[in-house]
Amino acid sequence: MSPSNRKVLPGFSLSLGYTLLYMSLLALIPLAACFTKAFSLSVDQFWAAVWTPRTVAAYQFTFTVSIVSSLASIILGFVIAWVLVRYDFPLKRIFDALIDLPFALPTAVAGLVYSGLYVETGWLGQFLVPLGIYGAYSRFAVVLVLTFLGIPFVVRTLQPVLESLEDDKEEAAYLLGASRSQTFWRVIFPTLIPALVTGFALSLARGLGEYGSVVFVSGNMPFKTEIAPVLIVARLEEFAYAEATAIAVVLLVISFAMLVLINLLERWSKRYYA
Amino acid sequence: MSISVKNITKRFGDFTALDNVSVEVPTGSLLALLGPSGSGKTTLLRIIAGLEIADSGSVLCQDEDVTHHSARQRNVGFVFQHYALFRHMNVFENVAFGMRVRKQPKKLISERVRELLHLVRLEGLERRYPAQLSGGQRQRIALARALAIQPKVLLLDEPFGALDAKVRQELRNWLRRLHDEIHTTSVFVTHDQEEAFEVADKVVVMNQGRVEQAGAPHEVFERPANPFVMDFLGNVNVFHGRVQNGRALVGGLEVDCPEYPHQESRPATMYVRPHELEIEHSPNGAASLKARVERINSAGSIAKVFLLAVEFPVGLNVEISPERYGELGLKAGDTVYVSPRKVRVFVPEYVI
């Protein structure tokens, strides 16, 4: 390294080496193994495994509920983050700590609790089911539980951004004659977009990969409420490992493409940061 | 449009930020609120803007009482210390913001933005984002944005506080010229006395929530109303002595003090500015103090000499012209005689 290149902290090559090693051990090698296993199938076999009406319905269902629940998460998460940052109220710190609970809770517990609450005989279900709201064993049930799991990602990405907003920006807008809603939509909201996109990406990723809670609340009805990971488990139980990984590969590729797209969107939304 | 602030009091909890403050800003003038931090100057500015509500007192714009008008209704231009530009908007959109929220026609907006960018001499930067501008450019954009709504008054909160010395000097001169061009009644807050004197038509010196003195810059500088103002307006030498029969005494130094003709001796404080002290090699008959040269700083447009009085331990700051410094040929360790050309004596008020 030339002297002009010296950084305060040395060891670039060492740390890069470690990073690559861990990336390889933890992510790249397992992924490669997954792809290798899947490609042990012939093209026709692969196609037959991943593209049946049932698997297509499962992909559609997985992606639809993940997107819908992520949208719900950013709306609800935004409100929660806003209240936590802008207002003081009793037990605020406890409430704040509760936000992290879905991170730690085994998701199967969330699934069991949700299905228990919303079934026809459950605490909430006994009132909701007569109204036609099925909060268990339905598509809506999956959206509910995924939103529960997605909200903390949105809250935790938005909170620091909301905290760093300076009062003088809002005061400037107000003095220039902006109403409250104009101040919010023209001055505050645009600066939150990058964080909202990040929160969306994180909760979407969570939703796409979720299994534990969904199997309990969805009812796993083929063509209706069956998610792709459930099909993978079904294939595994039939000892059809290659077919199981083939479905996994399709999920991986679509998810990766979506996350790349969201990353580009995020970068675009930050274009005015020098 | 003139502004009168009448008997404003503002408390934050136990802290009294403003204590019965009254200030008059004549139409078309540029007024400086000068004071140390915590003196209440920014709070006063924010009350004039409508960003803070006073506990008591009133704010009048021309003859209209605007005390209960919201900041939105007051139509004031406000420039913040840290610019407060909207970083997700480019320069054009920042300047246009006030007109956009007022739903003015697009054609008018783009014309007016162009005029304003010309006024602040930043044409051609319309598409830049604030992060791509220097501090001085950002502050000029902030000013253009404030002027876009054609404000009745312009308020500036330490507008040059975040800039480096050279840019600050340039912008200061520029603000004065701009004010002469647009004549909007303006108030700016600063803790820099030099800035206040250089730019303002009228200076209001504040301390601990009260107005210490208000007047034209030369008035305030030449005739400080009290020791605080004297002390705050730049470097000053302070001597503690006594007054009696119209004379003030410090060591061997004796000066006239006609304000105190009484026979009873009282403690008094004497203030002399560094440039009002003269250095001689030998006593020339005038009242003088014997002192030893400690240190000399001759880099700059004046030579600064630091001395220590011989008779009693008091440090002296003296500023002399480079020519005089050359004539004297001073060096550290020299013993010289220091005589004041002008002394201000403040006798503490009687306490019964």
- Asked if residues B250 and B267 have their Cβ atoms less than 8 Å apart, the reply is no
Identify the helix (H) or strand (E) that includes residue B239.
Answer: strand B237-244
Q: How many CB atoms lie within 10 A of CB A240?
A: 15
| Residue A174 with chain B: CB contacts under 8 Å | 71-72
Q: How many CB atoms lie within 10 A of CB A51?
A: 14
What is the predicted ipTM?
A: 0.80
SS3 B213: strand
The pLDDT of residue A1: 47
- Asked if residues B227 and B248 have their Cβ atoms less than 8 Å apart, the reply is no
B125 touching A, CB under 8 A? no
The pLDDT of residue A6: 65
The pLDDT of residue B349: 67
- Report residues of chain B scoring pLDDT below 50: 350-352
The pLDDT of residue B351: 43
Architecture of domain B237-346: Beta Barrel (2.40)
Q: Which residue of A169, A173, A274 is in closest CB contact with B132?
A: A274
Q: What tens digit of pLDDT does each residue of A189-213 get? A: 999 999 999 999 999 998 988 888 8
User: Is pLDDT larger for residue A125 or for residue B318?
Assistant: B318
Query: Domain spanning B3-232: which superfamily?
Result: P-loop containing nucleotide triphosphate hydrolases (3.40.50.300)
Count of A-B CB contacts under 8 Å: 71
What is the C-alpha to C-alpha distance for residues B49 and B73, in angstroms, rounded to an integer? 10
A164 touching B, CB under 8 A? no
Mutate to test the interface with B, among A175, A184, A187, A271 (most CBs of B within 10 A): A175
Compute the mean pLDDT over every residue in chain A, rounded to the nearest whole number: 89
Amino acid at B203: V
Q: What's the DSSP call for residue A4?
A: G
B150 touching A, CB under 8 A? no
Distance from CA of B84 to the nearest CA of A (A): 5
Domain ranges (residues) in chain B: 3-232, 237-346
Q: How many CB atoms lie within 10 A of CB B267?
A: 10
Q: What tens digit of pLDDT does each residue of A40-68 get? A: 889 999 998 889 999 999 999 999 999 99
What is the C-alpha to C-alpha distance for residues A141 and A122, in angstroms, rounded to an integer? 14
CB contact under 8 A, B51 and A171: yes
Closest CA to A120 of A102, A146, A138, A108: A138
A180 touching B, CB under 8 A? no
CA-nearest residue of chain A to B157? A168
What is the C-alpha to C-alpha distance for residues A115 and A120, in angstroms, rounded to an integer? 10
CB contact under 8 A, A171 and B71: yes
For residue A221, what pLDDT band results from cuts at 50, 70 and 90?
Answer: confident
Distance from CA of B172 to the nearest CA of A (A): 22
**Matching fold, domains B3-232 and B237-346:** no
Closest CA to B188 of B79, B261, B300: B79
Q: Which residue of A175, A178, A272 is in closest CB contact with B88?
A: A272
For residue A134, is pLDDT > 90? Answer: no
For residue A125, is pLDDT > 90? Answer: no
| Residue A177 with chain B: CB contacts under 8 Å | 72, 75, 98, 101-102, 149
Topology adopted by domain A42-269: MetI-like fold (1.10.3720)
The pLDDT of residue A115: 87
| Residue B146 with chain A: CB contacts under 8 Å | 175-176
Total-model pTM: 0.79
Segment A5-27 shows an average pLDDT of 83
The pLDDT of residue A5: 59
What is the C-alpha to C-alpha distance for residues B8 and B56, in angstroms, rounded to an integer? 6
**Residue A256, both tokens:** 């990766």
What is the C-alpha to C-alpha distance for residues A16 and B35, in angstroms, rounded to an integer? 54
**Residue B321, both tokens:** 């012209």
- Asked if residues B76 and B49 have their Cβ atoms less than 8 Å apart, the reply is yes
- Rounded to the nearest 5°, which phi and psi values hold at B4? -125, 130
Domain ranges (residues) in chain A: 1-38, 42-269
